[in-house]
Structures are given as structure tokens and as C-alpha cells.
Structure 1
Amino acid sequence: MDTHQALPDTDRQAAPPLRTQPSPPRFITYASAGSQRRIAIAVDLSDESAYAVRWAVQNYLRPGDAVILLHVRPTSVLYGADWGAVDLTVSVAADDDDAANGRPDSHESQRKMEEDFDAFTTTKAQDLAQPLVEAQIPFKIHIVKDHDMKERLCLEVERLGPSAVIMGSRGFGAARSISKSRLGSVSDYCVHHCVCPVVVVRYPDDGAAAGPATDNGEGPKSDEVVEKHVVPEDEQEFHDAAEEHKDV
């Protein structure tokens, strides 16, 4: 007689079901359409920058976005359109003469000129922000000082962590069609060195910039935009190049 008796099927315990955990995503999940984006608009004191701000308001920004107007103010030489020379009424030659002759008021004159240009820069930046004010888009003006504007601009973009950077660049007319694809020195540097996508808005040569920032209803050509993550920041205004960078 077989002493090993099979247990009835009803007495057997069913094995627990296998549970498979989902694998982690292979790709970065970008911000959804409803999430707030922080967009940086790099501005100098030129018509190209004003046009880029208007273009961003009309063609790129969406409800919920916050804007940083980012300006790098040179510490020695004054720059303007695409960070080219700007014509300002300042007596630099007179200050050089004072310094050469050892006059005691040379440093005071230099300090006064710096203060005047700081005030001019702030006023001009506020003027550039008017389209944002009219569209009720929240923004802040972030101004830093450095002698190397292109590199500092990319460093500030990396530190502030915007989703994208928008900047203006002068367009090229038919007479210069051979160089049509060439960007300005600053915009070209930023395209290759910024850690986030860069949208370069071409400034039209035909005077269309005075009107709506569009080109045949489609807007000016710009680089492809990809959503990136956003990191927080604190309020800042003027910072000298010698100052230590602080995490935000």
C-alpha cells in the first residue's frame, strides 16, 4: 500500500502571482503643455533686441510663462546691436586725459559715467519690457557686468536654468545673400555653447520690424525649440564680474 497519498487539489496553495515592476523611462520627460516655463530673452540696447521681445510675445510665449530679460553690461567698452558699437554721449576721451594728467577728479568722473550708464541701461531695459507689460506676462530684469559678454551670457543661462533663450540677430538682405545663413558673433556663440535651446530671431532688413513681428504670417525663421527643465532662481540686478557666483 502506497503511504504517500496525493493531497486533494483543494488543499494545494496557489502560487502568488508574479508582479512585474515597470522599467524606468529611457528618455527625459519634458514639461507638459500646462507647466510653467521660464524663458530668457537676451537683450542688448538695440532694435534687434526690441524686435526679439515683440516676436516672443506674439509668436512664442504662452499663458503661464515667466520671462527673464537678461542683459550683460560691459565693464569697459560700450556695445550695442548684436553687441556691436553703440553711440552714447559720454566723454571717454576727456576721462582718459584726466587720468593721463593725474587729475584727482578722473576717478570721480569715471564713477559718474558708470552710474549714468547703469541708469541708462536700466531705463532702456524697462523700455524693452513694455510688450511684456502690455501682454501682462510676468518678467524680471537680470543685469550683470562682465568684460566677456558672450561667455558670461552662457554662464548666466546655465546658472538661471531657463527652458530656452530667445535673442535677436540682424538679418541679411539680397545684397548679402551669400552670407544669408551667417549669424552674429554673439548669437552664433550662444547657439554653440548655451546649455539650453537657443531661438535666434532674425531682424528684417526691409523695415518690417516697426510693425508686428511676423513674416508673411509665419514669423521670422528661428532655430528649433525643445522643452527643457526649469530650475528656480532668486532676484538679482547688477553683479560685477569679480563677484563670486552663487547658486540659485
Structure 2
Amino acid sequence: MSERRIGVAVDFSVGSLAALQWAIDNVVRKGDHLILLTIRPDAYDQTEVQLWEATGSPLIPLAELKDPNIMKKYGTTPDAETLDVVSSAATQKEVVVLMKIFWGDPREKLCEAVDSVPIDYLVIGNRGLGKLKRAIMGSVSNYVVNQSSCPVTVVKHA
């Protein structure tokens, strides 16, 4: 059985944590690569990041995700709860946990990530915007479901 690359969109919100937990409970299995996809809306003003703006960061291993100094270089700070969830998954399910950070529009960058990493299956949370806000702002999850080249599951946060 070949290794699968399961992507989970994470922004360290309650909704993305719910999507991550759902993916671990329902999709991820031994030998998989669990790839956390983080999209930063703003270009971060560091030289390294400017190099990665088009392609995203390199794949960041779990050990580096836990190091605040390394994560500061990428302009992101994973929360303790997300780190606990993925650390447990790495140990209990025997999966490889990696993160890839992109800068730009979340809709476009998540679809790019599916093709560039590549991702076999994507899990994304939703923020539960009302109909009016969703009409004005557009739904990231709706866009990704319709544009992605891999299967996508949207996990609704209660």
C-alpha cells in the first residue's frame, strides 16, 4: 500500500482544529503523511519568505513545528492544542506530520497546494459564515470543493 498524503487546511481556529481532529479520526491511517496546509494572507517581510512566496515554504517536519524560533521565521505560530493533536496522531497512528505554508488568497493557494505537494485528499473546516457574509466574501471551502483536483471533505464546526 502506497503512502497517502492527507491535507488539512489549518488556520489555528476552532473550526480548523475540528477539521484536523475529524481527519485524524476518520481518514488518516498508519503510514500516511498528514500535511497541514497553512495560508497566510499577507506577505511576510523576511527574505526567506520572499523566496517561497510563489511556491510556498518547504515541507516543515513536526519537530520544527514545535520550535517557536523556527516557526517565527515563517511568520506563523501553531497553537498548543493543534501541536498536541498532531503529536498524538504521529505517535498513535504512526503518521508523518508535515506543514507547508503559503502566502496569498486561501482559495487559490489551497488548490495550488493540492497540485504542488501533491495532496491525495483534503479536509477543510468552515467558519460558518451567514448567507450574506458568504455572498459578499465568498466561501473558501465552497471554492476549494469546486476547483480542487482531489476529493475534499468540509467539516462543519458546530
Q: Given the two structures, how large is their TM-score scaled by the length of structure 1?
A: 0.44
What is the CA deviation profile of residues 6-61 of structure 1, one whole-angstrom value per residue up to 9, with x for unaligned ones? xxxxxxxxxxxxxxxxxxxxxxxxxxxx3321111111131111111111111221
Partner residue of 1:143? 101
| Alignment pair present for 1:152 and 2:109 | yes
Rate the CA distance shift 1:150–1:185 in 2: closer, same or farther, 3 A: same
* Cα displacement (A) at 1:195: 0.8
| Alignment pair present for 1:131 and 2:88 | no
- Equivalent positions of 1:211-226 (< 5 A) are none
Q: Which amino acid aligns with 2:102?
A: V
Q: Highest Rg: 1 or 2? A: 1
Partner Cα separation in structure 2 for residue 61 and residue 125 of structure 1: 21
Q: Runs of at least 4 residues of structure 1 off by over 6 A? A: none
Partner residue of 1:46? 13
What is the CA deviation profile of residues 155-198 of structure 1, one whole-angstrom value per residue up to 9, with x for unaligned ones? 121111211111111458xxx7xx6xx89710001001111111
- Whether the aligned pair in 1 keeps the contact of 2:8 and 2:34 (CA below 8 Å) is yes
- The runs of 5 or more residues in structure 1 that have no matched partner are 1-33, 77-109, 205-248
**What is the aligned counterpart of 1:161 among 98, 118, 127?**
118
RMSD of the TM alignment (CA)? 3.0
Secondary structure of 2:18's aligned partner:
helix
- Equivalent positions of 1:161-180 (< 5 A) are 161-171=118-128
- Equivalent positions of 1:21-40 (< 5 A) are 34-40=1-7
Secondary structure of 2:145's aligned partner:
helix
Partner Cα separation in structure 1 for residue 103 and residue 79 of structure 2: 14
* Cα displacement (A) at 1:121: 5.2
**Bigger relative contact order (CA 8 A; separation at least 6):** 2
- Whether the aligned pair in 2 keeps the contact of 1:53 and 1:129 (CA below 8 Å) is no
Partner Cα separation in structure 1 for residue 101 and residue 128 of structure 2: 26
- The runs of 5 or more residues in structure 2 that have no matched partner are 50-70
User: How many residues get paired?
Assistant: 127
Partner Cα separation in structure 2 for residue 171 and residue 155 of structure 1: 24
Partner residue of 1:61? 28
Rate the CA distance shift 1:162–1:125 in 2: closer, same or farther, 3 A: farther
Partner Cα separation in structure 2 for residue 121 and residue 199 of structure 1: 27
Rate the CA distance shift 1:125–1:40 in 2: closer, same or farther, 3 A: farther
- Whether the aligned pair in 2 keeps the contact of 1:49 and 1:128 (CA below 8 Å) is no
- Equivalent positions of 1:191-210 (< 5 A) are 191-204=145-158
What is the CA deviation profile of residues 105-139 of structure 1, one whole-angstrom value per residue up to 9, with x for unaligned ones? xxxxx77xx9xxx7395332675242121122311
